[in-house]
Amino acid sequence: MGATITEKILAKAARLDKTVPGDIVNARIDAVIGHDISGTAAFRELEKMKVSSVFDRDRILITADHFVPSPTLEAAAQFKDLGAFVARYGITNWFEQGRGGICHAIFPEQGLIRPGATVVGGDSHTCTYGALGAFATGMGVTDIAAAMALGEIWLRVPASVKFVFDGAMKRMVTAKDLILHVIGRIGVDGALYRAMEFAGEAVRSLSMDGRFTMCNMAIEAGAKSGIIEPDEVTLNYLRERTRQPFSVFRSDADAAYEREYRWDASQIPPLVALPHSPANAAPAAEVRDVRIDQAVIGSCTNGRMDDLRAAAEILKGRRVARGVRLLVFPATQAISLQAAREGLTEIFLEAGATVAPPVCGPCLGGHMGILADGETAVSTTNRNFAGRMGHKNSRIYLASPYTAAASAVAGCILDPREVN
């Protein structure tokens, strides 16, 4: 019996010949990531443990993305504390405001996440890095502090579930629509504790940006990780970003999957997830008469160049509807700069959008566009739980950048292929 890519990576990390689902292993960690909330809290846990140094100061990756620029005195204190911790522990990969961006975009962009790596992070969307053929999973700050201290952490080897998309995607259908389809079919605990492996012609046709989007939302189905086997697209992405060596693993043909799903990507239309669950998938075309107050384009799910280009394709020469606030959050400083150089920023501004800095913004109800009582947003983010983006009586429809931009123009939820 062969092994899946996930089982092979974890065997390497645990220095074992092989691992099988259910094994509890002590895995060697290649990178530990954190941000202004989880990083600060993890360093504080290290301090409480009286741990005076980290296992490897080059393998701890820290950015500030949730509560920056600081909206409150507490947040300002947190950012200041984080800077002090980073200095004290001698962290080399520290991406402060103006040099970084959203964790799950900046670390891959900088070539710091590579195939075959085992990565743990103080953020549930750490599973994003599976797009590069790495094993990556989110944890809380005590686990993250332990990983920072020891360079190891216990892990239970997950069973793998395979999701195959055959065929070619239709126009204005994106990776976001594929992953909303998956979660819609299996539910928010449909892959609980499992590794989700995405494969098939449509997945291979995705750019790295699209692959990050897919793996990013594995957690919304309860998964431990999401992963895509590296191919030429992956290697080209890495070639521009790192000269460090890495190991490419692939699943064996006779690897054991707990279950396999197979869909025809050409049958999937632009989708939205209705409030208040990422599993409430419905074709955008069937959602009629839902007026929106806000549209958000960005986040660790959909704030990369492909996403901004898709939004600009819709917004070019059009105007955001009256009564709608369109917020655009490029995911990193470099993406922001590239968007400006390509003229996308100009398109957004001419359309009436507010172009924001590279931060998480309202995704978690923090700041920069939280929703009022009774308001509705369409958003390219990953969660539409009740109250996630602000008031408990606000509503979020998750969608792709095409659909969010089209909805912003129409003033209501709209299939982007119907935009005037």
Reference 261, options 313, 194, 333, 331; nearest CA is: 194
Q: If residue 143 lies in a helix (H) or strand (E), which one and from where to where? A: helix 141-150
Residue 298 as a binder of other proteins (CB under 8 A): the answer is: no
* Torsion sign, CA atoms 93, 97, 101, 103: positive
Q: Does 277 bind other proteins (CB under 8 A)?
A: yes
Hey, CA dihedral for 403, 366, 33, 88, is it positive or negative? positive
Task: Tell whether residue 226 is a contact of other proteins (CB under 8 A).
Answer: no
Among 101, 116, 122, 330, binds other proteins (CB under 8 A): 122
Least Å from the CB of residue 382 to other proteins: 10
Which of 196, 266, 260 has its CA nearest to residue 227? 196
- Binding of residue 185 to other proteins (CB under 8 A): no
CA atoms within 13 A on the CB side of 419: 27
The full DSSP string for 15-28 is T-S---TT-EEEEE
Minimum distance, C-beta of residue 103 to other proteins, in the bound complex (Å): 12
263 vs 91, 166, 217, CA distance in Å?
44, 6, 18
Build a one-symbol-per-residue string for 68-87: x at contacts with other proteins by CB under 8 A, - elsewhere.
----x-xx-xx--x------
Out of 7, 109, 143, 177, name the contact with other proteins by CB under 8 A.
143
By CB under 8 A, residue 149 contacts other proteins = yes
Within a 10 A sphere around the Cβ of 403, how many other Cβ atoms?
Answer: 34
> Are 197 and 251 contacting, i.e. CB atoms less than 8 angstroms apart?
yes
| 382 within 8 A of 299, measured Cβ to Cβ | yes
Contact of 97 with 333, CB cutoff 8 Å: no
Closest approach of other proteins to the CB of residue 122, in Å: 6
Query: Which range binds other proteins by CB under 8 A, 5-13, 89-97, 141-149, 399-407?
Result: 141-149
CA gap 347, 210 in Å, rounded: 22
Q: Count residues contacting other proteins (CB under 8 A)?
A: 52
146 lies in the binding site for other proteins (CB under 8 A): yes
Binding to other proteins by CB under 8 A, coded x per residue (else -) over 359-398, reads -----xxx----------------x-xxxx---x------
Stretch that binds other proteins, among 147-155, 295-303, 311-319, 334-342 (CB under 8 A): 147-155
What CA–CA distance (Å, rounded) separates 120 from 149?
13
| Residue 211 touching other proteins (CB under 8 A) | no
Closest approach of Cβ 377 to other proteins, in Å?
A: 15
20 binding other proteins? (CB under 8 A): no
CA gap 244, 298 in Å, rounded: 29
Nearer to other proteins, 192 or 349 (CB): 192
Q: Which residues bind other proteins (CB under 8 A)?
A: 24, 37-38, 40-41, 44-45, 48-51, 67, 72, 74-75, 77-78, 81, 121-124, 126, 138-143, 145-146, 149-150, 154, 156, 188-189, 192-193, 219, 222, 224, 277, 364-366, 383, 385-388, 392
